[in-house]
Chain A
């Protein structure tokens, strides 16, 4: 065999990717891949896949793509979590080697935040935002598809690391100088930095897209103060994305430069300043926390009003508090490292700003409770997640305030108390919110309700599993257990609580299985919802049939009140009685392979840079520029949907008069 091939094999498949479990997964992926290929070919689905999905610019389909990715990533991140808990259940275990454990907790955090939470949120944005504001698509449909494919490219790049070359192992925060070549010579951290930079470009574009969409594309009459809270949350989240991702990209790029080009921004020697990375990272990281939870504040505000059969309580205050959170979230980042010696003045400032941000958040909790007050609460699965969210998030918020008391944080920092706290808010806020949104909008996306009985089973497993997993971890923090420990000695009194926590993780795992069963069962046996408004909803998306036709609104509605659709229903109006002359030609974005190809080109760049294959990276980069330039001169980016076609579709849905 030629020497360079031997070298290539050693580079791509070092010892760290040859553990038996990983080889088993390799085998599974190969068999699964071949099976899928044969299935797609036999059923002649490649053309369908290309035309309907890979080249689509329809926000509703992009939402489905995001959702599939998010659920697959929830699976991957969940498996990582189960492995962590298996390793930690008992003292002194060697369930897996230390190097693999380090990789697993790194990929768990990174995947759950960047490749599960974010795309799940964007799935909901894409599925709902245009429908809620009476628009036919987002402001920049093609850029929207590009965002997705850049995200997908980043996600794939990050996920293949564990079978090709080795995973990153520096934690999801990737603090230098541990990420430097001196301590971390493998390709893992290159994967991490490149995947996050590429996915981050996509996320930034999504931010711009939804900011413009919510500002510019609202139906006539939908003033700012008539926007549903979910739209407010989308707008604020987009603004946060826009200003939070640049510092992250800079920090990641500088770290990458240290590794690829021998610079010394954050290295151990040559005057590197690791703390500068920490500042840049959390300058992104703290707004990111709110990027992950504000959209779900929006979801909960819609869900609680719908299922309490009542207007949202204190709408202006809800808007004010969401804006206050947006501004304050940029002023709290140092609370992630009070223990880096910034001095008492700085620490006190950021401690107080952190307590300050708790106030608007607390106000929202009261408003949700008072939305239920005087209503009629229906215990649907979507509402159950809302009801679980309130107490869970309140406790998570309370421990957050404890962490903001600077000297107390000296004891809590990096301990399991912190782990318990942020899972308390991220699972209690983000995951419960995402699942609430999923159950709430599933009928709109797919045309049938998710089975409620099965949904309840999944809910209780998640909810109980969550508390069994994470309440012992608060106590472990008080017993001095620090995060990212591979294993721990017996005799510190940590193992009982760790066993309980692991049992909880298994219950949550069962919850995930129940969720997937629920989804698959519903896709196969689900009962079609013919009303388009199964929950007796309040906002415009429920005025449309499910699933929604390609052009969304045959005639763009005029909004007269805050809960526009509720208001129309109260007045006996309906969008379903269109007269044929109301329907005109509709300009729609045209499908294009550009976003998909851009993702492929970026993938080539990312993969080549990971292994420092400069010529290939150069070719990939040339491809990126060529595609962008081509796209800039591609004026055939839209087509006209004839009024006749729209009338036919509407008539077949029974929404046309005469």
Chain B
């Protein structure tokens, strides 16, 4: 590749572009959204790419017309291009540019509908690992009802299995986001929302809150370790056996408005997660969350417990 034919300012621009390309491929793995490791993130990525391609068609079409018009119809002496000051409409053209966007958007719309519904169902025939997530100010509490253990700011999950997160908040709203597994969902007080994700490759990933919730919110990053189901079972039973239990008293400590590092707990008290949920269902799998759950039965610790 030679830049010699280019004029000087363009030459340095081209060099910069190439440099940028090298840099970005060098750390391509850091584009976490573009490197999903599970089916949810993959489906979302496919849709993104499809939408990007359809939109690229629009951009190319518009830019071609635009640059042509700007180049050809300049107001300079001796411009030979036709000047038609009264030309104000063309039925065929105008119909055409209603149709083009409709077609392109249909191309995006159909898979959008399909994937939206698909992601709302847990994959059939697989028992999910359930994790009850409560966002606190400013930390994450993860409770594993099946394994009877709890963690703070740390997730360990088995590979190849759907993980069903049940999300609530005893804090301002946050969103749970693990970019390489898939998209985010809000945690809201007085609500439990479902989100399922899956990691197909073992590895260390990271998660974060996407919704600002106060001055310590930037400390809500957490590690996500995906391991084989066997290793997961070993880790869970070891944690259950050896880690200190989360008591109500230590739960109250967690409610303080503060940040903290990781923690593991061998057990956790009842009533720290809503027993009857009011939220929306993941269709198709007979979830026990009901849309019209009695609000009164949600149990939360009184706010007074959160004051220092």
Interface residues of A (CB under 8 A from B): 98-99, 102, 169-171, 175-178, 182-183, 268-269, 271-275, 308-317, 337, 339-344, 347-348, 351-352, 355-356, 358-359, 362-363, 365-367, 369-370, 372-379, 387, 390-391, 394-395, 398-399, 401-402, 404-411, 413-415, 475, 477-480, 482-489, 492-493, 496
Interface residues of B (CB under 8 A from A): 23-24, 27, 30-34, 41, 43-45, 47-48, 50-52, 54-56, 58-59, 62-63, 65-66, 69-70, 73-75, 79, 81-90, 93-94, 97-98, 101-102, 105, 108-109, 111-113, 115-117, 119-120, 137, 170-173, 175, 177, 179, 182-186, 188-191, 193-194, 206, 208-218, 221, 257, 279-281, 283, 295-296, 300, 302-303, 306
What 11 additional pairs, Cβ within 8 angstroms, besides A176-B172, A387-B70? Answer: A102-B212, A268-B300, A271-B295, A272-B189, A314-B89, A317-B89, A337-B186, A372-B69, A376-B74, A405-B108, A406-B115
With beta carbons under 8 angstroms apart, the residue of A268, A317, A407 that contacts B94 is A317
Cβ A374 vs Cβ B73 within 8 A: yes
Cβ A401 vs Cβ B217 within 8 A: no
> Taking the nearest CB of chain A, how far is it from the CB of B110, in angstroms?
10
Whether A315 touches B88, Cβ cut-off 8 Å, given contacts A178-B172, A341-B186, A480-B32, is: yes
Cβ A488 vs Cβ B218 within 8 A: yes
Closest to B95 in A: A317
> Taking the nearest CB of chain B, how far is it from the CB of A147, in angstroms?
32
With beta carbons under 8 angstroms apart, the residue of B52, B58, B179 that contacts A362 is B58
With beta carbons under 8 angstroms apart, the residue of B52, B105, B172, B280 that contacts A183 is B172
Cβ B75 vs Cβ A377 within 8 A: yes
In order of increasing CB-CB distance, the 4 nearest A-B pairs are A410-B183, A493-B30, A178-B172, A398-B55
Q: Which residues of B contact A377 (CB under 8 A)?
A: 69-70, 73-75
Cβ B58 vs Cβ A312 within 8 A: no
Closest to A418 in B: B210
Q: Which residues of B contact A359 (CB under 8 A)?
A: 98, 101-102, 105
Cβ B51 vs Cβ A408 within 8 A: yes
> Taking the nearest CB of chain B, how far is it from the CB of A480, in angstroms?
4
Cβ B173 vs Cβ A487 within 8 A: no
Q: Which residues of A contact B111 (CB under 8 A)?
A: 405
Cβ A402 vs Cβ B48 within 8 A: yes
Cβ A311 vs Cβ B73 within 8 A: no
Cβ A177 vs Cβ B172 within 8 A: yes
Cβ B62 vs Cβ A390 within 8 A: yes
Cβ B208 vs Cβ A182 within 8 A: no
With beta carbons under 8 angstroms apart, the residue of B23, B85, B116, B214 that contacts A310 is B85
> Taking the nearest CB of chain A, how far is it from the CB of B119, in angstroms?
6
Cβ B63 vs Cβ A376 within 8 A: no
Cβ B214 vs Cβ A183 within 8 A: yes
With beta carbons under 8 angstroms apart, the residue of B62, B137, B210 that contacts A415 is B210
Alpha-carbon gap, A512 to B279, bound state (A) = 48
Closest to B41 in A: A411
Cβ A339 vs Cβ B63 within 8 A: no
Alpha-carbon gap, A378 to B74, bound state (A) = 7
Alpha-carbon gap, A410 to B47, bound state (A) = 11
7 CB < 8 A contacts A-B: A177-B172, A341-B193, A348-B112, A369-B66, A376-B73, A402-B48, A478-B31
With beta carbons under 8 angstroms apart, the residue of B44, B63, B97 that contacts A410 is B44
Cβ B210 vs Cβ A407 within 8 A: no
With beta carbons under 8 angstroms apart, the residue of A98, A177, A482 that contacts B189 is A177
Q: Which residues of A contact B44 (CB under 8 A)?
A: 407-408, 410-411
Closest to A179 in B: B172
With beta carbons under 8 angstroms apart, the residue of B102, B173, B185 that contacts A178 is B173
Alpha-carbon gap, A328 to B291, bound state (A) = 28
Cβ B75 vs Cβ A310 within 8 A: no
> Taking the nearest CB of chain A, how far is it from the CB of B55, in angstroms?
4
Cβ A178 vs Cβ B48 within 8 A: no
> Taking the nearest CB of chain A, how far is it from the CB of B10, in angstroms?
15
Cβ B214 vs Cβ A268 within 8 A: no
Alpha-carbon gap, A531 to B117, bound state (A) = 63
Cβ A177 vs Cβ B70 within 8 A: no
